[in-house]
Amino acid sequence: MVRNVLIYNIVIAEWFAFGKVAIILIITHEYFFSYLCDFIFHTMASRLSYKKFHVWRLQHVSTTVTLNVVSVVVGLLAGLAAVVLKNLVFYTNKMLFQFSIPTFVGGNLLMLLYPTVGIALTVLFVRRVIRGNIGHGIPGVLLAISRKKGILPRSDMFSSMVASTLTVAFGGSVGLEAPIASTGSAIGSNVARWLHLQPRHIKMMLGCGAAGAIAGIFKAPLAGILFVVEVLLFDLTSATAIPLLLSAISASTVAFFLMGPDVQFAFNVKESFHLSQIPFYAVLGVFCGLMSVYFLRTTDRVEAWFSRRSSPAVRLIVGGIILGVMIFLFPPLFGEGYGSLSALLDGSGETLFMYSIFQSLSSNAWAVLAMLFVLILLKAVATATTIGSGGVGGTFGPSLIVGGLCGYFFAMLSNAVGLPEQSTANFALVGMAGVMTGVMHAPLMATFLIAEITGGYALMPPLLVTVVMSYITVNPFEKHSIYARKLAEHGDLLTHDKDQSAWQLMDMSKLIETNFAVVRQGQLLRDLVNAIKDSKRNVFPVLDDDDHFVGVIHLDEVRTVMFQPEKYDVYKVEELMTPISDGDIVRDSDTLRDVVAKFRSGDRYNLIVLDANDRYRGCLSRANTFSAYRRFISESSEE
């Protein structure tokens, strides 16, 4: 007993000492981590004689072998990062729960304070060290894939880990999966850049890092691969399959070796599935789909409300107070929530009331149902409040928690009203996949994640039924996942549809050609002939004195008259213009999809580009536009 107390006191002292040093470093050396990161990279480069190593690698090691080896290294690093992050949060949570200040109505008064402290430390870290926006993490990875050739800043290899640890360890109601996936992606991206791999291979290693991170945190390699395919929208080809698999297996091995079989949480299915339960699982899928729509809409609105508060201090204080009150009244909202979910899977519904002022109601079945429903509704609010007030974390974990609560609530309600008895544990597990499917639009990943964490495929039929019904329910309301929807609104989302992605992501302004000779309204045929002499194009835009577009002259239409010198001073250029329609003109605000539609609707070889005020910007040529499209497809291909 004395020995345990001594160890406990040493641990507490070490944590407080660590916290004090960390805060001092953050305040006095805001570039500490950036300097450290640069130092490590530069030291490695110099000690390994990088140039010689690079030459040797290119001469003696094939690209395939290089990618396979690097994917293993990236997987090991991503898995190690997952283990470190989970342990930091777990032991910090364990330490904090040792302290309690009871109130006269019950509960723990410290629950009101912890979230504000954690978010304050997170904001301090982000503002003083990172000096940028971390956010959810996954949207940034998607943007790097579509717009930045897979390049992520070096600081991303640690920033999300540190910030999410501070947020979640002190009660922030968000998940660690998105931050660790962002960390793994940054590790893969920067390792590939250090080796000077090609841009498409940098993207591949980014995906390997994400797959390794998810595989490591859940010990689920197949789920990690499907996360990359469905959430990060990678194409699973012969070139990407082996590196992704190697990375996911490497990360899972590291996590298993360092943390044992129960990496995140694990559950062995104890009750079998019967075909007569299919209708119940179908209805569960619809329920999960509706709750997914609620989750998506609620998180959007709450985060938007916080974003309208201009002062970070106001966001921090208001968000901290709201989150603290919610956690004080409903402690399962503290942190990720996997502890409460694991207790539910074991049939211990009364644990939802632990540390709560409603603890006296834990034996009442209807009170448990009410608590479950309240938690389902409030988890989305708590998640968005955490992020909106300055905390760092993701929605991956909260969607799992909400799904588990939905499944347990559905089965318990069904049993309470006298319908055929259902397994609350099985419904909770299947519900996790249902809400994850609705929120993340990743039915395969959700299905196989639950299959892997349960150690088998006993629940495969109900999983498939539920995720399909959930996806069908959500799709009319939300076309994109929680990570992709904002990128899609701004035209920055790369999807599996290569044509759509190409026309959406290509920059039209770079395709506008300005080497067309222009003539002015009121000029004579003589001026046009002089312009033709100096031009290599056969299209001549006609502008007024303010550069407003008036019309266009095609060389073929004036070929006869231009060889009649006696008419040079007779005809004005506006008399020689070719009739045009709206189909010959595009605006600089139009998308390339609109441009392509006009090219394909007729035999046009050039389109005139105007701004919002009808001023001439240039021309788009059919040949140049489709040539750029082919280059884009080639560069974005993983083959």
Convert the pLDDT of each residue in 608-629 to its tens digit.
899 888 888 888 888 888 888 7
Q: Picking from 137-141, 257-261, 294-298, 609-613, which range would have the lowest pLDDT averaged per residue?
A: 257-261
Task: State the pLDDT confidence band at 19, using cuts at 50, 70 and 90.
Answer: very low
* pLDDT, averaged across the chain: 83
Q: For position 498, what pLDDT does the model report? A: 59
- Please report, rounded to a whole number, the percentage of residues in the chain having pLDDT higher than 70: 85
Q: Report yes or no: 513 and 619 within 8 Å, Cβ to Cβ.
A: yes
Q: For position 206, what pLDDT does the model report? A: 94
Q: For position 17, what pLDDT does the model report? A: 39
Q: For position 144, what pLDDT does the model report? A: 83
Three-state SS sequence of 69-81: HHHHHHHHHHHHH
Does pLDDT of 51 surpass 50? Answer: yes
**91 located within any domain:** yes
Q: Does 166 lie in the same domain as 129?
A: yes
Q: Does 310 lie in the same domain as 239?
A: no
Does pLDDT of 217 surpass 80? Answer: yes
Sign of CA dihedral 445, 289, 434, 391: positive
Residue 433 tokens, joined:
């996949």
Q: Distance (Å, rounded) from C-alpha 71 to C-alpha 75?
A: 6
Mean pLDDT of 6-24: 40
Q: Does 217 lie in the same domain as 107?
A: yes
Q: Does 325 lie in the same domain as 238?
A: no
Q: Does 78 lie in the same domain as 177?
A: yes
Residue 386 tokens, joined:
């955490």
Q: Does 26 lie in the same domain as 36?
A: no
**509 located within any domain:** yes
Q: Distance (Å, rounded) from C-alpha 233 to C-alpha 445?
A: 12
Q: Report yes or no: 468 and 288 within 8 Å, Cβ to Cβ.
A: no
Rounded to 5 degrees, φ, ψ at 608 are -85, 130
Of 560 and 406, the structure prediction assigns the larger pLDDT to 406
User: 301-359: per-residue pLDDT in tens?
Assistant: 999 999 888 888 999 999 999 999 999 999 899 988 888 888 888 877 777 887 788 88
User: 420-462: per-residue pLDDT in tens?
Assistant: 889 899 999 999 999 999 999 999 999 999 998 887 788 899 9
Q: For position 252, what pLDDT does the model report? A: 92
Segment (H or E) for 455: none
**238 located within any domain:** yes
Q: Picking from 26-30, 242-246, 587-591, which range would have the lowest pLDDT averaged per residue?
A: 26-30
Q: For position 33, what pLDDT does the model report? A: 46
Q: Which range has the top average pLDDT, 15-24, 214-223, 620-629?
A: 214-223
Sign of CA dihedral 380, 383, 385, 388: negative
**496 located within any domain:** no
- Please report, rounded to a whole number, the percentage of residues in the chain having pLDDT higher than 90: 35
Q: Does 211 lie in the same domain as 96?
A: yes
Q: Does 252 lie in the same domain as 149?
A: yes
DSSP 120-162: HHHHHHIIIII-S--TTSHHHHHHHHHHSTT---GGGGTHHHH
Q: Which residues pair with 394 in a beta bridge?
A: 175
Residue 21 tokens, joined:
């040093």
For position 392, which CATH number holds? 1.10.3080.10
Crossing angle for the helix pair 221-230 and 238-259, to the nearest 10 degrees: 140
User: 155-203: per-residue pLDDT in tens?
Assistant: 889 888 999 999 999 999 999 999 999 999 999 999 999 888 888 889 8
Task: State the pLDDT confidence band at 37, using cuts at 50, 70 and 90.
Answer: low
Q: For position 385, what pLDDT does the model report? A: 95
Task: State the pLDDT confidence band at 8, using cuts at 50, 70 and 90.
Answer: very low
User: 475-497: per-residue pLDDT in tens?
Assistant: 999 888 888 777 766 665 665 55
Q: Does 336 lie in the same domain as 370?
A: yes
Q: For position 46, what pLDDT does the model report? A: 53
Query: Which residues, other chains included, contact 144 with Cβ-Cβ below 8 Å and sequence gap of 6+?
Result: 150, 151, 152, 185, 189, 206
For position 559, which CATH number holds? 3.10.580.10
Q: Picking from 187-191, 516-520, 589-593, 615-619, which range would have the lowest pLDDT averaged per residue?
A: 589-593
Q: Does 287 lie in the same domain as 199?
A: no
Query: Which residues, other chains included, contact 538 with Cβ-Cβ below 8 Å and sequence gap of 6+?
Result: 554, 555, 556
Q: Distance (Å, rounded) from C-alpha 231 to C-alpha 181?
A: 11
- What domain count does the chain have? 4
**270 located within any domain:** no
Task: State the pLDDT confidence band at 503, using cuts at 50, 70 and 90.
Answer: low
Does pLDDT of 246 surpass 90? Answer: yes
Structural domain for 234, as ranges: 31-259
**266 located within any domain:** no
User: 377-392: per-residue pLDDT in tens?
Assistant: 999 999 999 999 999 9
Q: Does 61 lie in the same domain as 159?
A: yes
Query: 635: how many CB neighbours lie within 10 A of its CB?
Result: 11
Q: Which range has the top average pLDDT, 2-6, 193-197, 400-404?
A: 400-404
Residue 602 tokens, joined:
């007729």
Encoded amino acid at 282, one letter: A
Encoded amino acid at 181, one letter: A
Q: Does 401 lie in the same domain as 328?
A: yes
